[in-house]
């Protein structure tokens, strides 16, 4: 689980890193629990130095082309400060070619409309249609 420590630039010394890693190692992998990583009672902090404030567990599939990027995400989040969580299904869509046309000073709306229809048809045919799901 060392990959969970993303930004350690604020750490003062090796002891801080050791405390943080001990905190992460005390997590229990339990997918049915919101966030997927509960901590045993009393192990969710290391004194007053570090504490767990939230947990995210995400799975995603990404698809890319020269003009489009599509990311399908299943996210399971839990916020220890508010004691609330959520499970979501998300879609991120990047239409690179269309954005380039929209940034031009002279925008030809028919061209943008045609490009958008083409991309939406591609997404429907390959990701959302019932034929594709069966």
Q: What are the tens digits of pLDDT across the range 84-114?
A: 889 899 988 888 777 777 777 677 778 888 8
Residue 37 is assigned to a structural domain of this protein: yes
Residue 39 is assigned to a structural domain of this protein: yes
b or e along 10-42 (b: 16 or more beta carbons within 10 Å of the residue's beta carbon)? Answer: eeeeeeeeebbeebbeebeeeeeebbbbbbeee
User: What is the widest separation between alpha-carbon atoms in the chain?
Assistant: 62
**Per-residue pLDDT for 133 more than 50?**
no
Instruction: Dump the DSSP string for 14-40.
Output: HHHHHHHHHHHHT----TTSTTS----
Token pair, residue 37, equals 């990583």
pTM of the model: 0.57
Residue 28 is assigned to a structural domain of this protein: yes
pLDDT (mean) for 70-93: 87
Residue 35 is assigned to a structural domain of this protein: yes
Residue 63 is assigned to a structural domain of this protein: no
> In this predicted model, which residue has the larger pLDDT, 72 or 98?
72
Residue 98 is assigned to a structural domain of this protein: no
Token pair, residue 23, equals 């905190």
Domain extent for 19: 1-52
User: How many CB atoms sit inside 10 A of residue 64's CB?
Assistant: 11
Total tally of structural domains belonging to the chain: 1
**Per-residue pLDDT for 70 more than 80?**
yes
Residue 119 is assigned to a structural domain of this protein: no
Q: Which long-range CB contacts under 8 A does 126-130 form with residues at least 24 apart?
A: 127/70, 127/72
CB 89 within 8 A of CB 74: yes
Residue 102 is assigned to a structural domain of this protein: no
């Amino acid at each position: 689980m060392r990959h969970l420590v993303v930004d350690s630039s604020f750490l003062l010394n090796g002891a801080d890193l050791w405390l943080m890693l001990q905190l992460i190692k005390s997590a229990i992998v339990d997918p049915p629990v919101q966030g997927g990583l509960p901590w045993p009672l009393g192990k969710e902090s290391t004194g007053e130095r570090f504490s767990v404030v939230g947990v995210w567990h995400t799975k995603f599939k990404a698809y890319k082309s020269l003009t489009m990027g599509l990311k399908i995400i299943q996210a399971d989040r839990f916020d220890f400060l508010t004691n609330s969580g959520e499970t979501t299904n998300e879609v991120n869509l990047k239409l690179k070619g269309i954005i380039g046309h929209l940034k031009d000073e002279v925008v030809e709306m028919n061209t943008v409309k045609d490009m958008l229809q083409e991309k939406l048809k591609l997404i429907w045919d390959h990701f959302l249609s019932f034929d594709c799901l069966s």
